[in-house]
Amino acid sequence: MTQSSDIISKFELGITIQNVSGPPAKQNMKMNIKFFRVKNQYGNQTYMSVQGIENCTIEEVNDLRYRTQLNFEMLEMIIAEWAYSRWTGKNGSWDITKLKIERK
């Protein structure tokens, strides 16, 4: 069963992370990020896909359907929250030294 989806917005994320709990290491990465809606889903029907395009192998889809405070005018904040949660989180060993989000 396939469901149709509509792309809401596209972004490119450039990020530089630095190891803070081990040997010095730094990594620059780029990712494509898309926000899309899948019709006939629960909540706000919204998902965020992340796909690495440079020095990054991430390929994932994040379920945003139950975010009750989702503001479609501030999607960059969701991307920044995702990035900080992924690399610096509660037990994170990386520090984000550069974060650039461009709407496409």
Q: Could you report the per-residue pLDDT of 8-65, keeping only the tens digit for each?
A: 999 999 999 998 877 888 999 999 999 999 988 788 899 999 999 999 999 999 999 9
> Is pLDDT at 2 greater than 80 in this prediction?
no
Distance CA 28, CA 39 (A): 35
Q: Is the pTM of this model over 0.85?
A: yes
In angstroms and rounded to an integer, the radius of gyration of the C-alpha atoms of the chain is 15
Q: Which residues have CB under 8 Å from 102's CB, separation 6+?
A: 11, 12, 14
* One-letter amino acid of 101: I
Question: What range does the domain containing 55 cover?
Answer: 5-103
Number of domains, the chain:
1
- Tell me how many degrees the CA angle 75-73-34 measures, rounded to the nearest 5: 35
